[in-house]
Structure 1
Amino acid sequence: MSAGQFWPGRYTDRHGTEAVVFESDGRELIRTTIRGVRFEGDSMDDLGALGGEPPEDPFTFFDGALCSCLLEWEVPMSIAVEGQGVRTVVLDCALRLGAPAGPGRGLEAETLTTTLRLDGREYRNDGDHDFEDALNELQRRLPDGTRLRACVACAWSDYHPVGHGLMSGLACFRSAKDIYRLVEGKRGPDNIFDAWDARTEFVQETWLCGEFEQRNTTHTGYRGPFPSRRWW
């Protein structure tokens, strides 16, 4: 794993609560140790046990990944506040993974809640299925003149039209800006499919690099502006 971040957090299930630390490279790898068992995955809802078959106790698994639990962690983030410059804040994340619903039916529930505390106030999404929706909702609730600085809000990032999971499916085009700048949707002569193979890498929505540029309404690629326009 390349140099990354360490996110303090907690793991809770019917057996109790344990303080844990999640190690992330900001791209497609997350690791942690829970009750002496090492877990790894490319997303918080896909953490599988390393070193063979998943232990039967004291965990619950679905398709090899942890479930029937609550994962909580803290992610450092940057925000730009008009008149104040860039500030560092902490994003509190809570992912509730339900029990298996049955063969081929996934989990009974999967809900992500994010909370950002700023100047004595809390800003929170209502509970979504992925980081794209959660952070879009969070940005809409922040005060005017306050903007998230993270890959999800960057001018050089986009999703594949087929869809994506909870996190880590955001494509970065920072090394192919001229190509990505032409993208206007998923159809036509300048579509996201033609540019897709030029992507630099996949990143987590909360990551941030030195080439960040705020996404705006001038060029919105395939996925549109950030925050996204409400359709309801």
Structure 2
Amino acid sequence: MSNNIPHYWAIVPAAGQGSRMGHTRPKQYLPLHGKPILQHTLERLNLPRIKGIVVCIAANDSDWQTLTLPRTVMSVVGGVERCHSVLNGLQALQPQAQPNDWVLVHDAARPCVRPADIDKLMTQLADHPVGGLLAVPVRDTMKRVSALPPQPLPHPFWGERGVEVIETVNRENLWHALTPQMFRLEALTLALQHVLNQQETVTDEAQAMERQGYRPVLIEGHADNIKVTLPQDLNLAELYLQQQDFS
């Protein structure tokens, strides 16, 4: 294949500990439907069009070697925040990838992403100058609440039963951002470097690109592409995986 034709690569930031799961083991290694969460995720990314996968793991990760990987996968040491890990992954790709190659960044804890949605993202944005991400429209009524104070109880808008609503947000034109998020290797590298040089952080790659003036495109995916964050998410992810097995 000519170097002028972009390849597709994937980066999976997996250096976090997932403290909200309340477990001593990092959440990406918790068992789900017979396999560790991260193994499910890597198998979903094991598509013919994706040339290679880089997983960004913690320096003291003792679980990585226990995975049964679907094919050769490169691992690199991640960073303090997601954006640091992704930048490390991008830098690891540079010796073998082209600046114009596509990079799909996918959360380690999204094991239910549908391969068809990944393929849809790659196909619909193949010729786009910027790239974009999977997303789903917001369907619920959205509420904005008062900021949570350091000492909750004395705060006039905060009590033992919850936090008060200060306004209802118009959900029109609001979407839930998912992953993968797909951008060009060089452009995403420069965007993340700029953010970190400003001593700032971003919560996803699209935000870094937006800071550079780009407008990522949203490609509608499926709502079962959930991120396992809390203990109850494991049961929901298990249900989704079972449903997908019989679809």
- Greater RCO structure (CA 8 Å; 6+ sep): 2
Higher helix share: 2
When you count strand as a share of all residues, which structure comes out higher? Answer: 1
Alignment TM-score, normalising by the size of structure 1: 0.29
